[in-house]
Amino acid sequence: MPDKDSTDNGGTFERPWEDSEDQDAEVVQLPGMDVDTEDVEEVDDLEVKEVAATGAVEEVIDTGATEDDAIDWDSVAERGDEFDAFTSEEYLTATTKEYRGLADDVSKAAEEEWQMQAVAAAVPGVESGLVGFEDVSGRASESEESFEAVEQAHSSDLTMRIASALVIFGLFVGSLILGGWWFSAFLILVMLVAVGELYATVRTIGYQPLALFGIVGVVLVGVGAHNWGAAAIAGWTAGVTVLVLLFFSLTPRNKPLENASITVLGLAWVGMVAFAILVAQGPHPIAYILFVVLLVALNDIGAYFVGRSIGKRKMAPVVSPNKTFEGWVGGLILSLVAAAVMSTIPAWESISLVQGLMAAGVVAVFAPLGDFAESMVKRSIGVKDMGSVLPGHGGMLDRIDGFLFAVPAIYLLFRALELL
């Protein structure tokens, strides 16, 4: 049996020849190993120790014969009974003291009765309540301070979301209560920020829209809607579109078709918010605007929670993979319920139950279309948010995408129902 070297559990192996410095090495003759011990050269104690410590196979016995002459393997096979006579004393001379009596100790321990006791052990990571990848895989993980920093960042982000939402909602409600130009100015400001985000985002991928034309265009559309109605929205949009096309036709520009199209897209798309100015000019501006805002918001909430819970069938897996038919149905149902409830409240007594349900149906169709449109643009550009003007919410365009198609549709419905 080969010797183990070094230490085990802090102990040191003591070999038989290490009992005293003057003890000579003992040669044990195994059965079948016909070696003439008279030819064994004198080997000092130091050399034996070096051979045993390193485990190297060195010729310390010079028999004067070859390997085949020294060991008669046929004799070994025929005289197997001599192996049975290999005593424990002879075996112990070739092993370490630590293994003596090991088998007896194991047998004795197996026969004894042991009482199970609870053992408390420190598990890495548990003291902080955090068990990371390092604890189970050995990989480096973040410290407790890092986790606390992440939690504080999430808490700060939530605070910013709430704060920015309250500011925008406060400005919206305040301008709506004041009415007139206050509300129109608020919507024009919203359009300016949204169209500016669109133009700034497409510039990051190499396009160069005429931002000045688009920004001036949405201002003219908003002012025109306040002063002259729906015709001014179409008129100013068409007029600015012609100017953009003339500019790209008369001046050499890179990618004229793409840049002209993006410029007009921003003006026409974001400019549809101006229809809310026309709704606010009706006989019940606060009631009508809040009615539309609540329907769009509740439709989005219903679609989100139902789709997240049971949504399976994708509506547009390429453009917006998170939208499902189940979510759309959930948004429609919540919008219908909200419209039915609001039609019974005195503030919306001018809107009948049937008219409210029709408005909810229109919102359920056109609000997701606005969301799909923005998702298509963002996917084409390769961005998650159009901007960061609203901390925790992304860009302004991200927040009004559901209104871009729903507000013009509601305006046309209210005109058809003679509510405006």
Domain ranges of the chain: 7-99, 147-416
3-state SS, residue 14:
coil
Question: What's the pLDDT at 59?
Answer: 44
Residues 64-70, mean pLDDT to the nearest whole number: 49
CA distance 244 to 199: 14
Residue 268, token pair as written in the block: 């026409």
User: Looking at residue 380, what is its pLDDT?
Assistant: 84
Q: What is the structure's pLDDT at 120? A: 54
Residue 65, pLDDT above cutoff 80: no
Computed over every residue of the chain, the mean pLDDT equals 76
Q: Indicate the helix (H) or strand (E) that contains 211.
A: helix 211-228
Most confidently modeled of 63-67, 127-131, 155-159? 155-159
Structural contact between residues 348 and 356, judged by C-beta atoms closer than 8 angstroms: yes
Q: Which residues are CB-contacts of 111 (< 8 A; sequence separation ≥ 6)?
A: none
Output the pLDDT for position 289.
Answer: 94
Q: Mean per-residue pLDDT for 374-394?
A: 74
The pLDDT of 127-145, averaged and rounded, is 49
Write the DSSP symbol of residue 131.
Answer: -
Q: Is the pLDDT of residue 253 over 80?
A: yes
**353 has pLDDT over 90:** yes
The whole-number average pLDDT for the span 211-240 is 94
In one-letter notation, the amino acid at residue 266 is: G
| Residue found by looking up tokens 């419209």 in the block | 339
Quote the pLDDT of residue 91. Answer: 57
- State the pLDDT at residue 29: 53
Tell me the per-residue pLDDT of 15-61, one tens digit each, with 9 for 90 and over.
544 444 454 545 555 554 554 544 444 444 544 445 444 444 444 44
Structure tokens at 120: 């408390």
Q: What are phi and psi of 242, to 5 degrees?
A: -60, -45
- pLDDT of residue 394 exceeding 80: no
Q: What is the pLDDT of residues 103-134, one digit of tens each?
A: 677 777 777 776 665 555 555 555 444 444 44
Buried b (16+ CB within 10 A) or exposed e, 10-21: eeebebebbeee
Q: What is the pLDDT of residues 290-311, one digit of tens each?
A: 999 999 999 999 998 998 888 8
Distance between CA atoms of 241 and 161, rounded to whole angstroms?
36
Res 384 pLDDT > 60: yes
- Are the C-beta atoms of 277 and 188 separated by less than 8 Å? no
pLDDT band (50, 70, 90) for residue 320: confident
pLDDT grade for 6, boundaries at 50, 70 and 90: very low
Query: What does the pLDDT average to over 154-174?
Result: 74
Q: Return the closest-CA partner of residue 303 out of 334, 337, 327.
A: 327
